[in-house]
Amino acid sequence: MTTDDQTRGYVAEEEYTSDYHHVYTPAFLDYVALLNSVQPPVREPGRFRFCDLGCGFGMTALTLAAANPQAEVHGIDFMPEHVELSNRMAAQAGLANAHFHALSFAQGLEKDLPMFDYIVAHGVYSWVTGDVRAEVVEFIRRFLAPGGIAYISYNTMPGHAQTAPVQKLVSHFGKKGEGDSSERVLKAFDFVQQLHAVNTRALRDKPVVDMLLHSVSREHPRYLAHEYLHSAWEPRYFIDVAAEMAKADLTYVGTATLFAADERFTVGPEHKALLDALPTRVEREFIKDYLLDANFRRDVYSRGARVLAPQERDAELGKRAFALRVNASAVNYICQVGLAEVGIESPAAHAIVNALAAGAKTVAEIMSAPAMAHVPFAIVYDMLLILAISEQITPVERTRGTATRFNAVVRANNYCSNALASPLGVGIELSLPEMMLATGATGGNLEEQVAWLLGEYARINKPVLDAERQTLVGDAATAWLRTITSAYLQRKHNALQTMGIVAP
């Protein structure tokens, strides 16, 4: 158990949920840097030093270590329960390149650590006190290599202005009473729902509050506890965070929320003149949060990285590889981009998808396909961006190796992650039944696979949950798993085979 002195207002009674996040992996962060004409860390594919601050169970770090045998990966978290699982899994999967430290950030500062190419802190910065935030900044200042990239995500103002009063209620009432933090957070939300139902003025006519209260039943209670119970919960303005990062000699690169990375998708003609009149990039970004009413940011910063001229940027992009996350036949050419739908149906888009159907390719390799002979780079750039925003392709490392052993360990630990590792240097997020089908199913017809899935749920002693996290039993469970299995076969199975996640 972590001591009160270490936690400083962070509610660390129960473990966090156990997730991999592709948005802060090196391949993805390099892509964000290039979208912003910034030189990513200069390195060989699959070879990097990476540190995850507040790594939770370390699923991102572990997956990266498995997928990139030449990388050195570290995770720091002050909850020993988290670090124990990470270390156990690293040992089971034979990952000598993964190192987990049960330390507070303050203690991490005293540790003899290497200089990192990437330091990430996801889901921490706005959940801790100002002192702890300063430790995060100091850690980055001390341990980020020149040319390195830092990623920091946090709840953002002004989009959280409406939810702050709800968080205050939940953290106040959730601290009291019986039960563990998951039970208490649900009881506290129940109280807020009752207040909402009687037309409480501070809560009514606020669409963001309505959305939050509506989403509670779909969320994992342990996530809700980590998100809402802290006394230090403080959504931040981008402009303040950028000033704090400047203390670590960091310059803002761009956002890892990919649709917002390109102003064509977020800034209307009526906004442009106002933004263009602002003197600095940081102010522009600050005001864009008002235009979007942003409530969460994923900021990417660099330490002294070179700004690339357009030709250099295109040449760097040409060396980067992408892989399909969905079967080529299932690619949707009407893509979700933020709240909008963008159609990319065209011979060029099909040529890109066909090129990737056979396996990951660099942008230069895609461009060299005969079908691409007359397609300008700018079109390929846009198609790749839209396919990446809609999560149908992903940037990859193209390392050599196998992630089979790690994926077997995830299965042996009752699917303790939400992603499987690919020898291409990244993980791919999947739902629980998809993870089961990808790691364990031995084929057969649809009914046999569904029967196998039901057995697998029984083996790990977990209920079948639908998309709303409602428990299903009997025929309802079978019907749901039938739908999921057909969709998996139609949309994902081949792509996962091509990525080396599913055995051929």
Q: Which residues bind ligand SAM (CB under 6 A)?
A: 10, 12, 16, 19, 21, 54-56, 76-79, 82, 104-105, 122-124, 127-128, 132, 226
Spatial separation of the C-alpha atoms in residues 208 and 422, rounded to whole Å: 37
Task: Quote the least distance from Cβ 17 to ligand SAM, whole Å.
Answer: 7
Which amino acid is located at 75 in the chain? G
Q: Please identify, using beta-carbon distances, which residue of 16 and 238 lies nearer to ligand SAM.
A: 16
Task: Quote the least distance from Cβ 116 to ligand SAM, whole Å.
Answer: 16
Q: Please identify, using beta-carbon distances, which residue of 298 and 320 lies nearer to ligand SAM.
A: 298
Spatial separation of the C-alpha atoms in residues 323 and 365, rounded to whole Å: 12
Q: Please identify, using beta-carbon distances, which residue of 7 and 439 lies nearer to ligand SAM.
A: 7
CB 422 within 8 A of CB 503: no
Q: Please identify, using beta-carbon distances, which residue of 153 and 439 lies nearer to ligand SAM.
A: 153
Task: Quote the least distance from Cβ 383 to ligand SAM, whole Å.
Answer: 30
Largest CA distance in the chain: 68
Spatial separation of the C-alpha atoms in residues 270 and 73, rounded to whole Å: 45
CB 430 within 8 A of CB 420: yes
Task: Quote the least distance from Cβ 174 to ligand SAM, whole Å.
Answer: 15
Q: Please identify, using beta-carbon distances, which residue of 19 and 293 lies nearer to ligand SAM.
A: 19
**Using CA of residue 156, residue 160, residue 161, residue 166, what is the dihedral sign?**
negative
What is the number of the residue whose Cβ is closest to ligand SAM? 54
Q: Please identify, using beta-carbon distances, which residue of 12 and 90 lies nearer to ligand SAM.
A: 12
Task: Quote the least distance from Cβ 286 to ligand SAM, whole Å.
Answer: 24
Task: Quote the least distance from Cβ 45 to ligand SAM, whole Å.
Answer: 25
Task: Quote the least distance from Cβ 364 to ligand SAM, whole Å.
Answer: 34
Task: Quote the least distance from Cβ 100 to ligand SAM, whole Å.
Answer: 12
- Which parts of 156-304 are beta strand (E)? 251-255, 296-302
Spatial separation of the C-alpha atoms in residues 295 and 309, rounded to whole Å: 33
Task: Quote the least distance from Cβ 124 to ligand SAM, whole Å.
Answer: 5
Task: Quote the least distance from Cβ 56 to ligand SAM, whole Å.
Answer: 3
CB 218 within 8 A of CB 465: no
Q: Please identify, using beta-carbon distances, which residue of 122 and 320 lies nearer to ligand SAM.
A: 122
Task: Quote the least distance from Cβ 447 to ligand SAM, whole Å.
Answer: 36
User: Phi and psi for 395 in degrees, rounded to 5?
Assistant: -65, 145
Residue 59: in which H helix or E strand, if any? Answer: helix 59-67
Supply the DSSP string of 449-491, one letter for each residue. Answer: HHHHHHHHHHHHT--EE-TT--EE-HHHHHHHHHHHHHHHHHH
Q: Please identify, using beta-carbon distances, which residue of 363 and 430 lies nearer to ligand SAM.
A: 430
User: In 3D, which of 458, 416, 451 has the Cα closest to residue 437?
Assistant: 451
Spatial separation of the C-alpha atoms in residues 408 and 421, rounded to whole Å: 10
Q: Please identify, using beta-carbon distances, which residue of 23 and 385 lies nearer to ligand SAM.
A: 23
Q: Please identify, using beta-carbon distances, which residue of 82 and 320 lies nearer to ligand SAM.
A: 82
Judge if the upstream peptide bond of residue 158 is cis by omega within 30 degrees of 0.
yes
Task: Quote the least distance from Cβ 300 to ligand SAM, whole Å.
Answer: 16
Q: Please identify, using beta-carbon distances, which residue of 22 and 361 lies nearer to ligand SAM.
A: 22
User: Phi and psi for 495 in degrees, rounded to 5?
Assistant: -60, -40
Q: Please identify, using beta-carbon distances, which residue of 163 and 498 lies nearer to ligand SAM.
A: 163
Ordered alpha helix ranges (H), 144-205: 164-174, 181-197
- Residue 340: CB atoms within 10 A of its CB come to 10
**Token pair for 97:** 């390149």
CB 252 within 8 A of CB 299: yes
- Residue 470: CB atoms within 10 A of its CB come to 13
Reduced to 3 states, what is the DSSP secondary structure of residue 394? strand
- Residue length of the chain: 504
Q: Please identify, using beta-carbon distances, which residue of 287 and 416 lies nearer to ligand SAM.
A: 416
Task: Quote the least distance from Cβ 10 to ligand SAM, whole Å.
Answer: 4
User: Phi and psi for 419 in degrees, rounded to 5?
Assistant: -155, 155
- Residue 321: CB atoms within 10 A of its CB come to 22
**Residues forming a β-bridge with 431:** none
